[in-house]
Amino acid sequence: MNSRHLVYPPWQAGIATGVVMLLAACGDDITNNYASEPPTFTPDPIVTHAQLQEALATAVSTTNGGLDFPMWATVVDRAGVVVAVVASGAAVNDQWLGSRAISAQKANAANSFSLDQFSLSTANLYSAVQPGGSLYGLQFSNPVSTDVVYGGEESQYGTVDDYMVGKKPGGINVFGGGLALYNSSGVVIGAVGLSGDTSCADHNIAWRVRHALGMDFVTAGVAPPIGTNPAGKDNIIFDITGGVSASGFGHPTCLNASADSTMGTNLPTTYPLGA
């Protein structure tokens, strides 16, 4: 009986070998297609979950100037590691789910661009990052870690076991709701981010939360004294006319226009810094 031996051209043999090696590397473990778990760190315990929850409850106990929706609050330490995540609603779905990630981005942004001697809130960044603004492009500079903000079980979001705790979410957000946290020595120790309502309301509640935590010893910022109010430092500034901010750090009004600007502008008087 005659036997035939098939001889393949070298290029075909090379392809076959490569396919075999690829299949061997992949095996039947589909998890090879996914990245490893994001790194976990030990956060500086600047607040507890209970303290942040209490501060948020106090902050939302009166109208926020917006829609009065339930909100998310996230605190990061100076290294950008999430310390705590809470929500004001009774259930995880009482708040906009997308706002949890936004609250973390706001906290990261305020922490990343504030110094001991100078604070920038996320509200201060709005005009500065528009085309032609002094910080245009900043919003693209520090991408959010989607593995961190979308990881874990939804049922644990806002609890002491929230997946973001002990991780670095990254991200930059450039409208109201993010404020750096300052200790009584005027040193930045982290930041808080609020989200779940209009951006003006987010800023209002973030200001109240920081005040309730006693971490608002801000040294300086871009917000000047307005009317009878003392210098706002990192307060929201409503000075956009015809699409242009007079200071370069202005924020638009939201749903309630004049009511927004009044409540926000008066924050340094209603909730004095360092008091």
* Beta bridge partner(s), residue 194: 73
| Contacts for 2 with CB less than 8 Å, ≥ 6 apart | none
CATH number at residue 140: 3.30.450.150
In a domain, 266, yes or no: yes
Per-residue model confidence as pLDDT tens digits over 202-247: 999 999 999 999 999 999 999 999 999 999 999 999 999 999 999 9
Per-residue model confidence as pLDDT tens digits over 28-41: 443 333 458 899 99
List the beta strands (DSSP E) in 121-177.
Answer: none
| Contacts for 263 with CB less than 8 Å, ≥ 6 apart | 65, 200, 204
Going by C-alpha positions, the residue among 192, 189, 236 that lies closest to residue 217 is 189
Cα angle for residues 88, 210, 166 (degrees, 5° grid): 70
Determine the Cα–Cα distance for residues 99 and 252; give it in Å rounded to an integer: 20
pTM: 0.87
Mean of per-residue pLDDT scores for the chain: 90
State phi, psi for 140 to the nearest 5 degrees.
-105, 5
In a domain, 23, yes or no: no
Does residue 266 register a pLDDT over 60? Answer: yes
CA distances to 32, 89, 120, 266, 272 from 47, in Å? 38, 20, 21, 27, 21
CA 81 to chain CA centroid, nearest Å: 11
> Based on the structure, what is the number of domains in the chain?
1
- For 227: left if phi > 0, alpha if psi spans -120 to 50, otherwise beta; the answer is left
| Residue-range definition of the domain harbouring residue 198 | 49-270
Query: Using 50, 70 and 90 to split pLDDT, how confident is the model at 50?
Result: very high
Per-residue model confidence as pLDDT tens digits over 112-142: 999 999 999 999 999 999 999 999 999 999 9
In a domain, 40, yes or no: no
Does residue 26 register a pLDDT over 60? Answer: no
Going by C-alpha positions, the residue among 223, 73, 69, 92 that lies closest to residue 153 is 92
In a domain, 201, yes or no: yes
Determine the Cα–Cα distance for residues 178 and 209; give it in Å rounded to an integer: 11
Yes or no: say if 191 and 230 are a contact pair by the CB < 8 Å rule.
no
In a domain, 62, yes or no: yes
